[in-house]
Amino acid sequence: MDTFALVVTILVALFFTYTNGFHDSANAIATSVSTRALTPRAALAMAAVMNLAGAFLGSGVAKTVSEGLISTPHGDKGMGILFAGLVGAIIWNLVTWYFGLPSSSSHALFGGLVGAALAGGTTVIWSGVVDKVVIPMFLSPAIGLVVGYLVMLAILWLFRRANPHKAKRGFRVAQTVSAAGMALGHGLQDAQKTMGVVVMALVIADVQDRGDAIPVWVKLVCAVMMSLGTYAGGWRIMRTLGRKIIELDPPQGFAAEATGASIMFGTAFLYHAPISTTHVITSAIMGVGATKRVNAVRWGVAKNIILGWFITMPAAGAVAALCYLVVWAAFG
């Protein structure tokens, strides 16, 4: 196995993790920044640290990515498939970041891997794709919407007699905790996805065997790159999540973040399902905002975001397939 191909693939995987960090940093901190619970730089620093910590909390999601979506390809062809899948995901991340669209880095990666695998003639484990990706893609936003709505209703009822100004001050403090929970869940979910790809590259290169534990250095470098990307910040997407869907106040921000964090931890630990943190927090914001009044949510913006969710996997897959064909034609 060409060591150079392995090194290049790992470097591209780490760059994907970096783009994932700045693309998805808004997921963890947009609500707390928009409600002024945290300053932007303080929020980014907190999110970077919690992303780093979250990456070490488990390995179930990484195992799903490395073994449950496509059959492990072999040789230079296999490394080319991973390379092309990552490039497809990176390109889609950069395009959606440029337009400020909170699309899913996770689904960009999954779409890229599947598209490159199909172009390269590698078996796609469709049962795994459906069970671990497609079904959660539909269920997690629906759950986020409903739970966010219910959590906000509970807060409104519990604090119905509280002084509004004191309550808002209290929820600004509480948002520090809920935003940290979101960042921890993001590290738990998204850093593991890249770990899974790096592990697959190591298996293809015969550096380790299928089913071996994730090396500590893989966890560390993926976590660090995710944290660096998070600290870089994705301001374009942050404005969309924090302001364009609905103007949030501190209680609403806390409800959305608490909902998103709970769903991410539950799916990671109970089902090992690599869900999209973007889908979860965006739908939670919509659910929370709907308690104010249905038309308080800017559904036109929400519609464009949801449309982006549905085209992410096929778009990233198409780019990855094209990239694989180019790479194979040039170096095959």
- One-letter amino acid at 89 equals A
- Which range, of 81-85, 164-168, 240-244, 268-272, averages the lowest pLDDT? 240-244
pLDDT band at 185 (very low <50, low <70, confident <90, very high): confident
Residue 10 CA neighbour count, 13 Å, CB half: 21
Total number of domains constituting the chain: 1
The residue ranking higher by pLDDT, 247 or 91, is 91
Q: Over the stretch 214-224, which tens digit does the pLDDT of each residue have? A: 899 999 998 88
Evaluate whether 325 touches 116 at the Cβ level (below 8 Å). no
* pLDDT of the residue at 242: 47
Distance CA 138, CA 117 (A): 23
Q: pLDDT over 70 for what percent of the chain?
A: 88
Lowest mean pLDDT among 48-57, 226-235, 313-322: 226-235
Query: Whole-model pTM?
Result: 0.84
255 alpha-carbon distance from chain centroid: 19
Q: What is the mean pLDDT of residues 253-269?
A: 89
* Residue-range definition of the domain harbouring residue 159: 3-331
Q: What pLDDT is stored for residue 247 in this prediction? A: 67
Q: What mean pLDDT is reported for the chain?
A: 83
| pLDDT classification of 243: cutoffs 50, 70, 90 | low
How far is 91 from 97, CA to CA, in rounded Å?
10
Residue 281's CB is within 10 A of a number of other CB atoms, namely 31
Q: Are 225 and 14 in contact (CB under 8 A)?
A: yes
What residues have CB less than 8 Å from 211, skipping those under 6 apart?
A: 67
Kindly state the average pLDDT of the residues 80-104: 85
Residue 65 in this model has a pLDDT that exceeds 90? no
- Angstrom distance (rounded) from CA 80 to CA 82: 5
Is 70 exceeded by the pLDDT of residue 86? yes
pLDDT in the model for residue 25? 66
61 band by pLDDT with thresholds 50, 70 and 90: confident
Give the per-residue pLDDT at 321.
94
